[in-house]
């Protein structure tokens, strides 16, 4: 009997960042109060749903790094977070390239980055637009047995989309 193998991809937009210090470069902006609250909530959600990813790839921007680390801690993720400069304000192709480098033993990966690239990535994968406000988390099922096979052809399916405001405290 043939079994079609799939990969899971969680797509997380960084949590809400602060614009308080206007002297900071965009890359160096930290999370604000809401962001520091929402990031661990999304990590706890992954844990509660039994969806802890085996790999985390994040933009190097401070707000994405801080989101990644807070999510990983709250979800109890055992592995390290990989920080990739090419994901800072990236287009979908950069996310796809980073994901294609994953080992095939990884069944579920989490990517953390920025809009508009993440919304475009999600649309390219599932073939329809979805709004991704800060700290939104999409769970996508990819029809691929290997990360190298990952294509932006609309053939993936959106299994869930969570937004922080829709979650109960």
Contact 60, 29 (CB under 8 A): no
CATH among 3.40.50.720, 3.40.50.2300, 3.30.230.10, 3.40.50.1240 for 7-102+109-128+136-166 = 3.40.50.1240
- The CA dihedral of 49, 52, 57, 60, to the nearest 10 degrees, is 70
| 83-141 pLDDT tens trace | 999 999 999 999 999 999 999 999 999 999 999 999 999 999 999 999 999 999 999 99
Can you give the residue ranges of every domain in the chain?
7-102+109-128+136-166
What one-character-per-residue DSSP string does 98-156 give?
HHHTS-TT--EEEEEE-TTHHHHHHHHHHSS-----TT-EEEEEES-SSGGG---SS-S
d(CA 133, CA 12): 10
| pLDDT at residue 56 in the model | 96
What pLDDT, on the 0 to 100 scale, is given for residue 169?
A: 53
* Per-residue burial over 6-40, b = 16 or more CB atoms within 10 Å of its CB, e = otherwise: ebbbbbbbbbbbbeeeeeeeeeebebbeebbbbbb
Please give the distance of CA 128 from its chain centroid, rounded to a whole number: 17
Handedness of CA 153, 89, 97, 6 (dihedral sign): negative
CB atoms within 10 A of CB 125: 26
Strands 81-84 and 7-13: unpaired
Q: Which residues pair with 81 in a beta bridge?
A: 56
Mean pLDDT across the chain, nearest whole number?
A: 92
Res 3: pLDDT: 38
Q: Strand pairing partners for 141?
A: 8, 157
112 token code pair = 């953390």
């Amino acid at each position: 009997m043939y079994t079609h193998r799939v990969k899971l991809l969680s797509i997380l937009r960084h949590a809400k960042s602060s614009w308080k210090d206007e002297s900071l470069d965009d890359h160096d902006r930290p999370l604000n109060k809401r962001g520091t609250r929402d990031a661990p909530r999304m990590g706890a959600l992954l844990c509660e749903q039994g969806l802890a990813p085996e790999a985390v790839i994040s933009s190097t921007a401070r707000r994405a790094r801080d989101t990644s680390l807070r999510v990983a801690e709250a979800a109890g993720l055992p592995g390290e977070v990989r920080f990739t400069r090419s994901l800072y304000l990236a287009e979908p192709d950069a996310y796809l390239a980073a994901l294609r480098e994953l080992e095939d033993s990884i069944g579920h990966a989490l990517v953390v980055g920025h809009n508009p690239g993440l919304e475009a990535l999600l649309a390219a994968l599932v073939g329809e637009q979805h709004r991704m406000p800060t700290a939104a988390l999409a769970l996508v099922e990819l029809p691929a047995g290997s990360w190298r096979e990952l294509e932006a052809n609309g053939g993936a399916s959106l299994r869930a989309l969570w937004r922080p405001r829709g979650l109960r405290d």
